[in-house]
Chain A
């Protein structure tokens, strides 16, 4: 089975210049955790995910300190969340995006998702344009179908 057979073809995306607050609202509305960022030329330039939002609002030294020192959210996090309205998607997005060719196999998509610890992969055609997105859920469902499971 090929990636193009299982991918979601209607790709909702954001533009790099879009407001970060609007992009987060779109994530909430769509009930997904990440969106591809596509520029005016139709080129994929990044991924905007909830993880990037958390990375922006939490202290950058948190990983090094080992753990958080508060019972409740400190003021700095609230302030940083407020400031997201002044930032664009390009200021938060991850620029190094792992992609997959539409002709690639399902196994290859599964391998990438597992080894790169990501939840979704943008699918590109030969002209390097985004033609779909394949999520972890799509892959597991395809394997389940192949195994003869009934999925509602």
Chain B
């Protein structure tokens, strides 16, 4: 086991050295080569060394500082503490809602569907998966959706796999609908100056279009499974017995929690208007409102405040993000991404639509293999570099967001939601998803939805 680990580390060093060598051949200077090599270590670590990725990020940042590739002040600036704090506050809020039983209550809502039919079931789980993903986050959302689907499928004694896949596909699509759906949403909003309102006007309708097309596609794809479910519903007489077994009444505390969450969403939705009214810097309130809500929650439940911070916040992932953002910022700081942006623009012959298409498909294909946060963190400084080359950045930001979320559907490791949901499926039902069982349906949905987005980005003036 340990020998295998050493071989993998040697392979990692070889990959980093190769990236460094290639960068040097492309004419980059020593600092740019160091920045690219260190960033590539994080990329490879997410692919090969999941358990070591934070350790590798720690070492990488230290090397960047010691080699004077970046100074301490800029390192701290690039770490994007505002994004990390936003995610911490949202995790605290979600932790409270979980404890109050909101998600268990949502699960019962799905279990309570009246006059159940297979098509109705697919429609409800798809819409709820997407809406829940864009109002909390994709990982939290998928766990509850999977829990509900497994209960229904258990009741009707049918294979849950098609419905779990449908829910995952809808979750990834839903995660592009708002700033809250995916860490890349808040990351892009924070770097681009796009507001929640921009997301509601431009990303949310696109989410619905992609979702409705996906629902039609999966209904065709899984028509045999749907037919089987309809037969079972006829045989067992809908889910009345199941409904009678359920008992999660919305209690007073849950209603209060829902109130806090609802108000948070409302103020987040209005943040841009309020910022204009109070003459605040763009996105100041977007980032502050979750902090205010989380602060109130921790006053309300002060005895558990420490628990929310220690248990509900995924520090492992957030620390990785923090260091990753610092390393991505260094790419821009050294000018490495300016060189890359210039080359890319030459390659697409200065055509802004070809550039948008390249970013869209690049991020979609890239995020089907890589963690989309890693990919978007790498793309952001490149997109920022286009500004000095007189390219309109808006379509590029949308291309990055849509590609980064939709690409997650292409492979079974394309997004964290996929990995979490398929992990539960294997643990609960001993069903191991094969690469190709996922791939064909995932690829079809991924390509169709990315094509729709591509056309929209080319044709609709709102994205320019």
On whether A64 and B154 interact (CB within 8 A), knowing A70-B246, A71-B246, the answer reads: no
Q: Is the CB of B108 within 8 A of A66?
A: no
* C-alpha gap A49/B315 in the complex (Å): 31
Q: Is the CB of A65 within 8 A of B245?
A: no
Q: Is the CB of A61 within 8 A of B155?
A: no
- Please encode chain A, from 48 to 74, with 1 for each CB lying within 8 Å of some chain B CB and 0 for all others: 000000000001110011111111101
Q: Which residue of the partner chain, among A69, A74, A75, contacts B104 with CB atoms under 8 Å? A: A69
Give the chain B neighbours of A67 by CB distance below 8 A.
101, 104, 248
* C-alpha gap A79/B147 in the complex (Å): 17
The secondary-structure label for the interface of chain B is: helix
The secondary-structure label for the interface of chain A is: loop
Q: Is the CB of B154 within 8 A of A66?
A: no
Give the chain B neighbours of A71 by CB distance below 8 A.
245-247
Residues 97-127 of B at the A interface (beta carbon under 8 Å): 98-104, 107-108, 111
Q: Is the CB of A74 within 8 A of B248?
A: no
Q: Is the CB of B104 within 8 A of A61?
A: no
Residues 39-98 of B at the A interface (beta carbon under 8 Å): 98
On whether A69 and B247 interact (CB within 8 A), knowing A59-B147, A74-B151, A76-B151, the answer reads: yes
Q: Which residue of the partner chain, among A61, A66, A70, A79, contacts B245 with CB atoms under 8 Å? A: A70
Q: Is the CB of A69 within 8 A of B154?
A: no
Closest Cβ neighbor of A72 among chain B residues: B245
B412 interface residue (CB < 8 Å to A) = no
Give the chain B neighbours of A76 by CB distance below 8 A.
150-151, 154, 428
**How far in angstroms is the closest Cβ of chain A from B429?**
10
B4 interface residue (CB < 8 Å to A) = no
B305 interface residue (CB < 8 Å to A) = no
Give the chain B neighbours of A59 by CB distance below 8 A.
147, 150, 428
**How far in angstroms is the closest Cβ of chain A from B8?**
23
Q: Is the CB of B146 within 8 A of A61?
A: yes
Q: Is the CB of A66 within 8 A of B147?
A: no
* C-alpha gap A60/B107 in the complex (Å): 15
B424 interface residue (CB < 8 Å to A) = yes
- Please encode chain B, from 410 to 446, with 1 for each CB lying within 8 Å of some chain A CB and 0 for all others: 0000000000000010011000000000000000000
Q: Which residue of the partner chain, among B101, B102, B245, B427, contacts A74 with CB atoms under 8 Å? A: B245
Which 10 pairs show the lowest CB-CB distances between chains A and B? A71-B247, A66-B98, A67-B104, A76-B154, A60-B427, A64-B143, A67-B101, A61-B147, A69-B108, A70-B245
Enumerate chain A interface residues (CB-CB to B < 8 A): 59-61, 64-72, 74-76, 79
Would you give 16 A-B contacts (Cβ < 8 Å), ordered by A?
Answer: A59-B147, A61-B428, A65-B104, A66-B98, A66-B99, A66-B104, A68-B104, A69-B104, A69-B107, A69-B248, A70-B246, A71-B247, A74-B154, A74-B245, A76-B150, A76-B154
Task: Give me 17 other A-B pairs in contact (C-beta within 8 A), A60-B424, A71-B245 excluded.
Answer: A60-B427, A64-B98, A64-B143, A64-B144, A65-B98, A65-B103, A65-B107, A65-B143, A65-B147, A66-B100, A66-B103, A67-B101, A69-B104, A74-B151, A74-B245, A76-B151, A76-B428
